Amino acid sequence: MSRKKKNLILENIKLLSAGAKGVAVGKTEEGKTILVSGAVPGDVVNARIKKAKSKYYEAEAVDILEPSPYRVEAQCQHFGVCGGCKWQNLAYDKQLEFKQDEVLNNIRRIGGIEDFETLPILGSAEQYYYRNKMEFSFSDARWLTLEEVNSSEAINDKNALGFHIPGMWSKILDLKECHLQEDPSNAIRLAVKQYAVDKGLAFFDVKNQDGFLRTLMLRQNSKGEWMVLFQLYREEKDNREALFEYILKQFPQIKTLVYAINPKNNDSIYDLDIQTYFGEGYLMEEMDGLRFKIGPKSFFQTNYKQALELYRKTLEFADLKGNEVVYDLYTGTGTIAQYLARNAQQVIGIEAVQEAIDAAKAHATLNGLDNCTFYCGDMKEVFTEEFLARHPKADVLVTDPPRDGMHHKVVEQILKLAPQRIVYVSCNSATQARDLALMKDHYRVVKILPVDMFPQTHHVENIALLERI
């Protein structure tokens, strides 16, 4: 990269649209594309170039010369620092418009597909306080503002409980408020921090891997019942029990409190032994009559109400009559599979994570569904010709892969299986479009439905219905 290009300020850039990952897109006077962070479509900005590519610039806004008519006041005092909710300053109707445009552009540009019905994006009824799970980190060396860094005054309050600063994993933003999870999420977090400070409990030292309090996870169900999970770097029995008793007394909404001792060099809970201090160690959730047991390690959609709409639409797209064999690829904990099972003859689910498959089997038993069969393993290794030969042919296939989309071998097996209908649920319309392109000689994209699962962010889900040609 040319040193002359990097850090160059480009002036009076009109930002016309939204691009991938929430950047705003404009053009230079020479017609070169510029992707600008820290701005919204409609702004006129001065932008500093961070990377100069042959076809475009990556830049950051340094001055907002003319604010966009789509700008709104961000609700959170931490906006622009914590790294989440990057579209809080963009009107929600415009968020939906840009998300739908992104999906359409990917299907057409990457997928090379033009002739399909586009249903209006399904917006979220709740634009804030929609998450049912939040995770926070303790630190004894919180992120300092520029004013604090430059101040000559001693800084004594260095403890933090909040989010990692983007690009600075060792720095934690001390959260005063968060608009993602409903009350008493903020109250619990703030009470935990204040108690820990008052009692002199050791916040985690990320660099030296030492301390007592490490992470806090808050999870709720739709009934207003709460789970609290603490990760502790080491055992301090008296301090632990006193803290837990204090929190339980303060917040009767807490249905269960669990904890784990984690001396590892990462915060992952999936290989930890979870101990139940209070309650049953799990919450129960219900979705349209289906019951699910949600533990501290459970995979479950974080936007409950919108997930419910997503599952209902997936079932609607599958158009089951009751006698179909359905394959559910990347089934997770089997939530979609069980939605389908009540309207199908048989459902076969495949998933790579053993804990998720164990949960799927348990949930099927809990819900009295004896027509679900689940298999665990890497999709391209399990979903093979041998597998297809041992199982009945699918009439309908549902696939909900991770952000990377489907491996090309999986796509090849779907084409060999040749179900009449495919319902492709995706959290990344770019990789979805790539996969649709591989199938377009055999399947017609009938319609798509973008779904906004995460308001105030650039993320968007998409459901596509395919029918065999």
Positions marked active-site: 427
Question: Are the C-beta atoms of residues 1 and 52 closer than 8 Å to each other?
Answer: yes
Tell me the three state secondary structure of residue 174: strand
420 in a labelled binding site:
no
Beta carbons within 8 Å of 182's beta carbon, 6+ residues apart: 129, 220
Sequence-distant contacts of 250-254: CB under 8 A, at least 24 apart:
250/191, 251/184, 251/187, 251/188, 251/191, 251/226, 253/184, 253/224, 253/225, 253/226, 254/188, 254/226, 254/227, 254/228, 254/278, 254/279
C-alpha 319, offset from chain centre: 27
- Angstrom distance (rounded) from CA 21 to CA 80: 15
Dihedral angle sign, alpha carbons of residues 150, 153, 159, 161? negative
Other Cβ atoms less than 10 A from the Cβ of 223: the count is: 11
- Angstrom distance (rounded) from CA 331 to CA 348: 9
330 in a labelled binding site:
yes
311 in a labelled binding site:
no
Q: Give 294's Cβ-side CA count (13 Å radius).
A: 27
236 in a labelled binding site:
no
Q: Give 233's Cβ-side CA count (13 Å radius).
A: 18
- Angstrom distance (rounded) from CA 52 to CA 59: 9
For residue 39, give the DSSP letter: -
Other Cβ atoms less than 10 A from the Cβ of 311: the count is: 20
Tell me the three state secondary structure of residue 183: coil
Size of the chain, expressed as the number of residues it contains: 469
- Annotated binding residues, as ranges? 301, 330, 351, 400
Binding residues for S-adenosyl-L-methionine: 301, 330, 351, 400
